[in-house]
Structure 1
Amino acid sequence: MFSVSVPPVSVGSNVFFALALCSISVLVLLLLRRFVTIRATPAYILVPIFLALALPASVVLLVPIDLASSSRDGTGPKAIWLPDRVVLVCWRIAYWLIFMLTWAILPLLGDYVDSGYREPKARILYSLRSNARYQLIVLACATVGLIYVSISNGFDFTSIKGLVMALAYVWGLVLAIYLMGHGLVSIPRNLFRNANISGRLRRFQAHAPKVHERLMDAVNELENLNSQVDQLQQRKTGTARDFQEWIEDLAESSGSSDVRVPILESADTSATIPSVITERYLADLTRRLQRARHMKARFVDEWDRLVQSAADLETIMNSAASKKLEFAPAPRRSSCLPKMKFLTPYMRYQLYYNIIPTVRLAFGAFFAVASVCIVWSELIKSLAPQLSAVTWTVVPKWKDEKPLGFGNQVIASAWLLYMCVAALVGVNDVQVWGNRALVRRNTYGESACWYASLVARLTVPIAYNFLTFLPKDFRRGTTFYKFLGQLINLTRLGKWFDFIFPIFILLPICATLFNLYGRIKNICGFGLAEDDDIHDVENNPAGYGMGGWREGRDLIERELNGYGTLAVSSRGGRSTWASDREEGDSRGSSRLRVPVAEGSRSPRTSQTQRPVTAPTVVDDEEEEENFFKSFAHRVRNTFETTNTPQWFNGGEPLRLPRWMSGDNTTTEDGGINRLFGGRAVPGRLRLG
């Protein structure tokens, strides 16, 4: 009898993989629903964005499956695995779809949405013209690379395909290393800083003036553009008649003006419309209107979230005395924890005041260790990859040629997911992307295409960079290495770049740790990272001056008191915060405080007014001063605020008290007799 060995069948792994893909699709749809309106978004925008997010998420799932599939023995590993052919097909589908989305479809689609033209043909031509320069630069680099590869390995189809994949990988790796370096520092640092409630509130207050100023600029810009549309609508002769329907559509889409605009500066009417109306002018005006509307929606959403977060933090700090926490109802609050009914006020206080800050500190320490392990793996992988932290946790027994287990797959997915999240956090920290932003339920179509393209562009280089952490003999057996790694290492230049360049992750890490961007901003007048508010608080703890946290605190207070989102500057307003009142009474502050004029209030309906939260003392200035500094400040304020007496300046002469003067000393109610039993003054004690 001959025994026939039946190859293992991955039925359970196939079911798990299918369910995992369905779960990823559902999560991506929920993410899209948070940032865009699915019903109002056209399918030609929604489908590419969905694929650009779902495919990178499947890469995070596919890498651990590839590791387990390539290391299995004859009986099959105790993990999720797929046949080699299936894994190869999955890699081909994911990689080339991501390649086409990031380099062709999404850039053209973003400019198509942002063109401003009405006809599809004009939109396509505008999109092609806008991307022509970018595509020419890519083509020039590809031509130079093709010449180099042809000289090194000959001219064939494999060399061309390897060149295309290597160039895409190089560009993605440069961007991924730069952004991931920021994120590896930003994630644990933000957790540590947010654990301090008062410090987090102070940072919100320091950030408030900038958001408020940008919001006012966005509203003014939109009003100026709407005034141009009004002028176009009034013109009934000449070339304006040819585009009357287009102009009417612009007027209808502009809607009614904001009721808060009159408290700002008046609209700029100097921008007159040209005498000859052309299609290009109307397309440019439409494009600017679309951007201005979404810019206003962006900063309105950011301002509302900032004010709501500051109010919640203020409420948490106020609950320290009563040990009870109750949040005011607010529809803009993103967290669902304050809405849970089963939490008592005391439990809610313990949760927000003690438990959540402690959990943030614990996660901050955990992610700090994870960041150090990733940086160590980047530095050591070209010398001794077996000493990297990823190798210790993912394949600790790779020399024994044992298959990967399910626990090792989970750890590999966690490492790869943290690296991708760090890169995406770096996207938010490094503000070099223009005015693109993600807005809840109102993200601009061009911004959505750009962010989806960036997510897809970063995932594959990060995944292969994670694979280089593992030992050489182990990673060469994976399907991903055979599909992408061999083509990247086709030349010596590609091999050197793959293993040496990730060391430069130390540059963004040092720049974030030591605030090099803030120093560059002070020298050159511009900055790259949106971390200036933190350093402004650290460098100016008193908060005085333009744009300080005191001004932001007053702006937030006005919004909570119902004065309006676009209230006038707080420099002329009287603060009702307890910290300022105590400071003015105890320290004798000489700052001018003018009551807010009644006419400065913005007309707000009852639905838009926010509940007033009781103020608390958030001034940490006394804690930062010792006894001698505090005493010196009090003495200085006393002398600075003391008025010079008039008799010293030659005015009214000095008058002696009546009891010291010689007049009326014998009268019954005057002189010194009062001290020895004279007439009793009502309400006083009589001696004798």
Structure 2
Amino acid sequence: MWVFYLISLPLTLGMVIVTLKYFAGPWVPRYVFLTVGYTWFCSLSIIILVPADIWTTTSHLSETGVISFFWSWSYWSTFLLTWAVVPLIQGFEDAGDFTVKERLKTSIHVNLVFYLVVGSIGLFGLILLIAMHKIWHGGVLGFAMACSNTFGLVTGAFLLGFGLSEIPKSIWRNADWTTRQKVLSHQISKMAVKLDDAHQELSNAIVVAQATSKQMSKRDPLRPYMNIIDNMLTQMFREDPSFKPQGGRLGENDMDYDTDEKSMATLRRHLRRAREEYYRYKSQYMTYVMKALELEDTVKNYERRSSTGWKYVSTLRHPRSGKLGSILDTLEFIWRCILRKHLQKVLAIVLGIMSAAILLAEATLLPSVDLSLFSMLIKLVGREEVLVQAFAFVPLMYMCVCTYYSLFKFGTLMFYSLTPRQTSSVNLLLICSMVARYAPPISFNFLNLIRLGGNVKTVFEKRMGRIDDAVPFFGKDFNRIYPLIMVVYTILVASNFFNRVIDFLGSWKRFRFQSEVDDMDGFDPSGVIILQKERSWLEQGRMVGEHVVPLARNFNSIDLESGSSNSTDLLDVKAKATNSLINEDMNGKSSKSSGDEVGSMVLAEKP
């Protein structure tokens, strides 16, 4: 148990704090920070408890009381947080009302729909149990836990399957520099247009707020609320003096916000969400640009390795000096230009093997023979505490990463986003709720893959029941059959079956899940020229993203989300926009040299 107390818990706590500080936006209040941190810590505690529980069970130790306490604390904390506390705080943070009481009312009203859906699912499960003549002995809490586990196990199986296929493939693709450059050119182009749209939306919101403030008299009963919005605008411009509203305009109903307190709350909420969206897209855009510039430096350093003496020369930082600087440049060259891409391919192969091992274990739950690689390894090391916990922790953590990778991937398209240093309170709370929701089912699933022999039960299984008890609605056979469905689904995802079906149907392309594969077919001309402009501005001492908004508007009329980048018509339109930008003067100097380089790349990709 010393591994759990001295290594696992401190590392988990430190990882939660560092991760949360990295992603949390500047406007996240402290109570949200603490709530999200505690929820993440409880969720990860469930994950790190599994190896300790397996070690305690296989070694027949008497420390089960401590493990039992941690299980109860972690499980019920995450259960209450994800289904009750976090949704209430999330609604409170999303509300635009001006008092705590009104924000709570709004949150409760919004969450009534959520609780109604959850209650309907529970009622459906209860009716299903009665209809199937099942006898339930678990009580209300046991029934609620069973409903939660059913949701997590069934949906989590498909999330896990998608991640098991996509993570190794994505790492393998990104190891190729040319492929990565193509993907980044598309990502930069798309994000620049999204940033321009977000800038326009924020400019509109600012214009509406300022116009509403001007037409409202000082004696208006709503003036105190307007003053709060005015202070919000003042603080916004103080924190980011570089932001310049452009093209803001009033809509048909934009002057109707001064009718009552609720309309003022709507204006405040709209302004806050527009601000968060703008800075989120700006952060993502800057991340893509910096990655692309670093990749360009890596490619150039590798091509010029003979002339540079195998030293890494970066255009994004000041050159190092002295003997130590020369050594560091050589080490950086070896890492960036040689080792990293090969290690990425090795990692992709290792993760691919691990994915195959997990799928084999899931697919062979029905036979009595134990074909689980992880079960064999745990039995092989016997009473070696570190090895037992390591062989249990590594595959379990990989299953978590696969599940959460899919969760964030799908969620980014529909519900939320996790952006470095710009994730809002609402997004953080929604993400932490989803993380907590899937931690226990992942543990259930992994324990199902580990066959300890005989009737041996871990502490978790004793307190929470085996997986057969966790999902009682469809009988014991279903609990061993549904992993087979996940295996089949994973194979279909890996073979690109669903995208092929959608492409065959043609009219269903709007439902296609956009992935990096769609951005590998050629460079995006607008992304290339935007990247070259950013490099030119950096050389002049400017900041990344400082002038991207007017630049992106040259491409904003182009549909970047649909069709292939190799389409002749699309390339013709983009080439015209690109050529017009190449011929522009910048600060009185022609950017011809940059334009020639970009123009050659565009023509090389044009069919």
Could you say which residue in structure 1 is the equivalent of 2:224? 245
Q: How many residues align?
A: 556
Could you say which residue in structure 2 is the equivalent of 1:661? none
Read off the aligned partner of 1:537 and give its amino acid letter.
M
Contact 2:360 2:371 in 1 (8 A): no
Paired with 1:259 and 1:130, the residues of 2 have a C-alpha distance of: 36
SS of the counterpart of 1:387? coil
Query: TM-score with structure 1 length normalisation?
Result: 0.73
Paired with 1:272 and 1:98, the residues of 2 have a C-alpha distance of: 42
Paired with 2:519 and 2:3, the residues of 1 have a C-alpha distance of: 53
Cα deviation, 1:541-599, whole Å, max 9, x if unaligned, reads 3x5xxxxx122111211222228211335979xxxxxxxxxxxxxxxxxx767454888
How far is the alpha carbon of 1:228 from its aligned partner? Answer: 0.9
Could you say which residue in structure 2 is the equivalent of 1:312? 294
Q: Does 1:565 align with 2:548?
A: yes
Contact 1:438 1:447 in 2 (8 A): yes
Paired with 2:68 and 2:498, the residues of 1 have a C-alpha distance of: 44
Larger Rg: 1
SS of the counterpart of 1:395? helix
Could you say which residue in structure 1 is the equivalent of 2:347? 363
Read off the aligned partner of 2:410 and give its amino acid letter.
V
Cα deviation, 1:52-83, whole Å, max 9, x if unaligned, reads 1111221222111111212224xx5xxxxx61
Contact 1:184 1:371 in 2 (8 A): yes
Relative distance call for 1:258 and 1:174 in structure 2 (3 A) is farther
Relative distance call for 1:446 and 1:385 in structure 2 (3 A) is farther
Could you say which residue in structure 1 is the equivalent of 2:9? 21
Paired with 2:325 and 2:130, the residues of 1 have a C-alpha distance of: 69
Paired with 1:57 and 1:618, the residues of 2 have a C-alpha distance of: 50
Paired with 1:269 and 1:570, the residues of 2 have a C-alpha distance of: 21
Q: Which moved more, 1:139-148 or 1:126-135?
A: 139-148
Could you say which residue in structure 2 is the equivalent of 1:64? 51
Could you say which residue in structure 2 is the equivalent of 1:292? 274
Aligned residue among 112, 115, 118 for 1:135: 115
Read off the aligned partner of 1:221 and give its amino acid letter.
E
Could you say which residue in structure 2 is the equivalent of 1:84? 64
Could you say which residue in structure 1 is the equivalent of 2:474? 493
Paired with 2:526 and 2:25, the residues of 1 have a C-alpha distance of: 35
Read off the aligned partner of 1:329 and give its amino acid letter.
L
1:332-411 equivalences in 2 (<5 Å): 341=325, 343-384=327-368, 386-396=370-380, 403=383, 405-411=385-391
How far is the alpha carbon of 1:512 from its aligned partner? Answer: 5.1
SS of the counterpart of 1:529? coil
Relative distance call for 1:492 and 1:164 in structure 2 (3 A) is closer
Paired with 2:317 and 2:497, the residues of 1 have a C-alpha distance of: 36
Could you say which residue in structure 2 is the equivalent of 1:281? 263
Paired with 1:16 and 1:597, the residues of 2 have a C-alpha distance of: 59
Relative distance call for 1:188 and 1:529 in structure 2 (3 A) is same
Could you say which residue in structure 2 is the equivalent of 1:523? 507
Could you say which residue in structure 1 is the equivalent of 2:566? none
Paired with 1:537 and 1:259, the residues of 2 have a C-alpha distance of: 34
Read off the aligned partner of 2:342 and give its amino acid letter.
T
How far is the alpha carbon of 1:296 from its aligned partner? Answer: 0.6
Paired with 2:107 and 2:587, the residues of 1 have a C-alpha distance of: 42
Paired with 1:321 and 1:361, the residues of 2 have a C-alpha distance of: 21
Higher relative contact order, structure no. (Cα contacts within 8 Å, ≥ 6 residues apart):
2
Aligned residue among 389, 398, 404 for 1:418: 398
How far is the alpha carbon of 1:173 from its aligned partner? Answer: 1.4
Contact 1:55 1:94 in 2 (8 A): yes
Query: TM-score with structure 2 length normalisation?
Result: 0.82
Q: Does 1:503 align with 2:490?
A: no
Could you say which residue in structure 2 is the equivalent of 1:665? none
Paired with 2:110 and 2:585, the residues of 1 have a C-alpha distance of: 45
Contact 1:98 1:457 in 2 (8 A): yes
1:627-646 equivalences in 2 (<5 Å): none
Read off the aligned partner of 2:315 and give its amino acid letter.
A
- Unaligned regions of 5+ residues in structure 2, if any? 319-323, 538-545, 556-574, 589-593
1:209-248 equivalences in 2 (<5 Å): 209-237=189-217, 241-248=220-227
Relative distance call for 1:437 and 1:221 in structure 2 (3 A) is same
How far is the alpha carbon of 1:200 from its aligned partner? Answer: 0.5
How far is the alpha carbon of 1:492 from its aligned partner? Answer: 6.4
- Unaligned regions of 5+ residues in structure 1, if any? 1-12, 77-81, 332-339, 544-548, 573-590, 604-611, 626-632, 634-688
Aligned residue among 429, 438, 458 for 1:478: 458
Could you say which residue in structure 1 is the equivalent of 2:37? 50
Could you say which residue in structure 1 is the equivalent of 2:448? 468
How far is the alpha carbon of 1:508 from its aligned partner? Answer: 4.8
SS of the counterpart of 1:116? coil
Identity of aligned residues (%): 20
Paired with 1:283 and 1:389, the residues of 2 have a C-alpha distance of: 57
Could you say which residue in structure 1 is the equivalent of 2:558? none
Read off the aligned partner of 2:261 and give its amino acid letter.
E
Paired with 1:309 and 1:613, the residues of 2 have a C-alpha distance of: 21
SS of the counterpart of 2:481? helix
Paired with 2:595 and 2:584, the residues of 1 have a C-alpha distance of: 23
Paired with 2:587 and 2:206, the residues of 1 have a C-alpha distance of: 21
Contact 1:29 1:50 in 2 (8 A): yes
Contact 2:192 2:552 in 1 (8 A): no
1:614-633 equivalences in 2 (<5 Å): none
Q: Does 1:106 align with 2:125?
A: no
SS of the counterpart of 2:526? helix
Read off the aligned partner of 2:493 and give its amino acid letter.
A
Contact 1:301 1:440 in 2 (8 A): yes
Paired with 1:217 and 1:473, the residues of 2 have a C-alpha distance of: 59
Paired with 2:373 and 2:599, the residues of 1 have a C-alpha distance of: 46
Paired with 1:272 and 1:99, the residues of 2 have a C-alpha distance of: 42
Paired with 2:386 and 2:514, the residues of 1 have a C-alpha distance of: 40
Relative distance call for 1:432 and 1:517 in structure 2 (3 A) is farther
Contact 1:184 1:509 in 2 (8 A): no
How far is the alpha carbon of 1:16 from its aligned partner? Answer: 4.8
Paired with 2:600 and 2:252, the residues of 1 have a C-alpha distance of: 45
How far is the alpha carbon of 1:104 from its aligned partner? Answer: 0.6
Aligned-residue RMSD, C-alpha: 3.5
Contact 2:532 2:598 in 1 (8 A): no
Paired with 1:456 and 1:34, the residues of 2 have a C-alpha distance of: 19
Could you say which residue in structure 1 is the equivalent of 2:20? 32
Paired with 1:550 and 1:116, the residues of 2 have a C-alpha distance of: 41
